[in-house]
């Protein structure tokens, strides 16, 4: 069994930290000479080599091929992230990039997350992603409608998870502002607070009665509502900067890269990896800690986004195991804080100011 951090000597911790950070920067195995020169240790290279050999036997380092140097193992990265990481000081440029998010006027979560995933990718130089969590029995809190012409209108639903969906509805019967007002009032009276499974026959009959028995209109509208509720339940994944993966030799293998890209396309693999959580801390998933097989040689870092006391999504990045963890964790922590502020600020705006 590998030793815990408090069971390692200070010298072993320093050596491990030095190797991790040097490998992150250069991607090459790190030898004892580099450690001696960079940290000005008073002990000999032979002593350093012995310490490195012990760290390897404990599972924190690996020796690739016949190289005299070592690279961190997944366990070594985990120990580094959990206990040896130093706080990263963001540059003025990085702070400015994150603060750009605060200047945009957006009221919908998916718009904010789409922009945030681009910022995460730009600041960290890894692939950024944003998740809108799967809803749990999402319902509609408000219905609105706007007439287009005598046979069509826009139906707008405001969901319990803060999302807004619109759908163009085309009907065979003739409709006007009066009929549309009656429809909207009936929906707000009878279908607010009802999830997709709760759209029962009795609800449909009640709507028909309110609309003078117009079953065709009711069936068409309820079909649109059912579809929109299904979309709101499914969760969303937005990805930015996929091409950044190509900068790292770890993703040079076309088959491995293709499998990773496939995980993003399937989206459920990633949605399942970022569960709803009550915490607000940045999460680091290293290699085989992930249930997604194709991420075994990658690291995924994400921060949950919370609004009104609930987790509504996450912002994160994916990259090689030798990720610049200090920079990524600080970036996502700041970015996630800005998103939560934007969401809460939007909730406090008067209705007329939500643009």
pLDDT the model gives residue 52? 94
Q: How many CA atoms lie within 13 A of 104 on its CB side?
A: 20
Q: Domain of 62: which CATH number?
A: 1.10.10.10
Q: Whole-angstrom Cα distance, residue 301 to residue 202?
A: 47
The reply to whether 33 and 108 lie within a common domain is: no
Domain that holds residue 73: 5-84
pLDDT score, position 104 = 67
233-256 tens-digit pLDDT: 667 888 999 989 888 888 887 777
Residue 58 has pLDDT above 80, yes or no: yes
* C-alpha dist (Å) from residue 58 to 55, 70, 206, 239, 285: 5, 13, 69, 37, 21
Please, what's the b/e burial string for 4-15 (b: 16 or more CB within 10 A of its CB; e: otherwise)?
A: eeeebeeebbbb
Are both 269 and 346 inside the same structural domain? yes
Same domain, 267 and 346: yes
Instruction: Kindly state whether residues 122 and 151 are assigned to the same domain.
Output: no
pLDDT at position 99, please?
84
Q: Are residues 213 and 250 in the same domain?
A: no
Residue with the larger pLDDT of the pair 103 and 301: 301
- 129 falls in which pLDDT band (50, 70, 90)? very high
297 and 348 both lie in a single domain: yes
- What's the CATH number where 181 sits? 3.30.390
Tell me the pLDDT band of 278, cut-offs 50, 70 and 90. Answer: low
Residue 137: what pLDDT?
A: 66
pLDDT surpasses 50 at 75: yes
Q: CA-CA distance, 293 to 203, in Å (whole number)?
A: 45
Range with lowest mean pLDDT among 53-57, 105-109, 204-208: 105-109
Q: CB within 8 A of 310, min separation 6: which ones? A: none
Provide the domain count of the chain. Answer: 3
Residue 271: band (very low, low, confident or very high) from pLDDT cuts 50, 70, 90:
confident
Q: What is the reported pLDDT for 349?
A: 35
Same structural domain, 189 and 329: no
pLDDT of residue 184: 94
pLDDT at 196 > cutoff 90? no
Please identify, among 84, 116, 148, the residue that sits at the C-terminal boundary of a domain.
Answer: 84
107: Cβ contacts below 8 Å, ≥ 6 apart: 164, 346, 349, 354, 355
Domain limit, last residue, from 199, 233, 267 = 233
Please report the pLDDT score of residue 233 as a whole number. Answer: 66
Q: Are residues 125 and 250 in the same domain?
A: yes
- Give the percent of the chain with pLDDT over 90: 41
Element containing residue 99 per DSSP (H, E): helix 92-99
The predicted pLDDT at position 181 comes to 94
The confidence score (pLDDT) of residue 135 equals: 64
CATH code where residue 288 lies: 3.30.450.40
- Mean pLDDT of the 287-304 span: 83
């Amino acid at each position: 069994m590998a030793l815990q951090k408090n069971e390692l000597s200070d010298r072993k911790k320093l050596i491990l930290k030095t190797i991790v950070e040097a490998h992150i920067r250069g991607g090459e195995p790190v030898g004892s000479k580099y450690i001696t020169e960079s940290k000005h240790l008073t002990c000999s290279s032979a002593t350093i080599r012995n310490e490195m050999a012990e760290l390897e036997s404990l599972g924190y380092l690996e020796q690739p091929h016949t190289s005299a140097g070592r690279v961190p193992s997944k366990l070594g990265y985990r120990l580094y992230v959990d206990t040896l990481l130093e706080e990263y000081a963001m540059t003025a440029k990085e702070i400015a990039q994150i603060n750009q998010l605060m200047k945009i006027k957006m009221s919908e979560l998916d718009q904010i997350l789409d922009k945030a995933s681009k910022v995460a990718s730009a600041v960290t130089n890894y692939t950024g992603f944003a998740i809108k969590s799967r809803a749990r029995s999402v319902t509609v809190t408000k219905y609105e409608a706007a007439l287009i012409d005598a046979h069509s209108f826009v139906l707008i639903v405001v969901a319990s998870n803060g999302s807004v969906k619109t759908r163009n509805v085309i009907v065979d019967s003739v409709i006007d502002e009066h009929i549309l007002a009656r429809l909207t009032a009936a929906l707000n009276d009878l279908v607010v607070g009802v999830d997709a499974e709760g759209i029962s026959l009795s609800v449909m009959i009640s709507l028909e009665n309110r609309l003078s028995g117009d079953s065709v209109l009711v069936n068409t509208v309820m079909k649109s509502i059912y579809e929109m509720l299904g979309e709101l339940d499914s969760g969303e994944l937005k990805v930015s900067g996929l091409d950044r993966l190509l900068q790292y030799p770890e993703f040079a293998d076309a088959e491995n890269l293709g499998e990773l890209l496939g995980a993003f396309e399937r989206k459920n693999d990633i949605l399942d990896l970022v569960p709803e959580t009550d915490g607000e801390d940045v999460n680091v998933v290293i290699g085989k800690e992930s249930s997604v097989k194709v991420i075994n040689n990658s690291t995924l870092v994400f921060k949950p986004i919370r609004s009104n006391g609930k987790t509504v999504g996450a912002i994160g990045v994916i990259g090689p195991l030798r990720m610049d963890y200090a920079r990524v964790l600080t970036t996502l922590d700041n970015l996630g804080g800005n998103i939560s502020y934007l969401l809460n600020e939007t909730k406090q705006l008067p209705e007329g100011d939500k643009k």
